[in-house]
Amino acid sequence: MSERTLCMIKPDGVERNLIGNVLTRIETAGLRIVALRKLRLTTAQAEGFYTVHKERPFFQSLVSYMTSGPIVAAVLEGDNAIARWRELMGATNPANAAEGTIRRDLALDVERNTVHGSDAPETAGQEIPYFFNTMEQQG
C-alpha cells in the first residue's frame, strides 16, 4: 500500500554537504520525493517536533543541535514508505546501524545521526503537516 513519510536531513548532514548523497539514496531506492524544503527550525519548532521526547535526558541537547543550522525536510512516497525509509536510515545509534545504511555510512554519533524518519503511520500523519501544507504536498 502506498504511504507517505516525513524525512529530515539534520544539521550535521546539511553542514557536511550530504543533501545530494541522501536524496540520491532515496531516489535510487525507488521512493518518490513529493515535497522538499530547506529551513532552519526555531527552538519552539524543534521542541514541538520532538515533544514526545521532552522528558528524555537528551532532549535539551537534541533541540540545541536541531536548531544549530538548516535542515532539509521532505515528504517521501511509495509502497511501505515508512518502513523502507527507516531501513535506509539504519538504527538510531550509528554504531548499531547495518552496513550500507545512511547512519552507518554518514552519521557522526547517536545525536548527530544525519537523518530523521517517521516511525509509524500515526507519526507520519502528524509530522508531514508540521512542515508542509496541503498545497505543498501535491507533488
Catalytic residue numbers, as ranges:
116
The C-alpha cell that represents 84 in the structure block: 523502507
| Shortest Å, Cβ 98 to ligand UDP | 13
- Among Mg ion, ligand UDP, none, the one that 105 touches (CB under a kind-dependent 5 to 8 A) is none
Alpha-carbon distance of 62 to 64, in angstroms, equals: 5
Alpha-carbon distance of 94 to 109, in angstroms, equals: 6
Alpha-carbon distance of 60 to 94, in angstroms, equals: 21
Among 31, 62, 74, 75, binds ligand UDP (CB under 6 A): 62
Contact between 51 and ligand UDP per CB under 6 A: no
Alpha-carbon distance of 85 to 27, in angstroms, equals: 11
Kindly give the residue spans of alpha helices, DSSP state H, lying in the chain.
Answer: 11-15, 19-28, 43-49, 59-66, 81-89, 102-106, 121-131
Q: Are 26 and 88 in contact (CB under 8 A)?
A: yes
The site map against ligand UDP for 6-45 (x = CB under 6 A) is: ----------------------------------------
| Shortest Å, Cβ 108 to ligand UDP | 10
Per CB under 6 A, which region of 24-32, 94-102, 109-117, 126-134 contacts ligand UDP?
Answer: 109-117
User: Which residues are near Mg ion by CB under 5 A?
Assistant: 119
User: Which residues are near ligand UDP by CB under 6 A?
Assistant: 53, 58, 62, 92, 110-111, 113, 116, 119
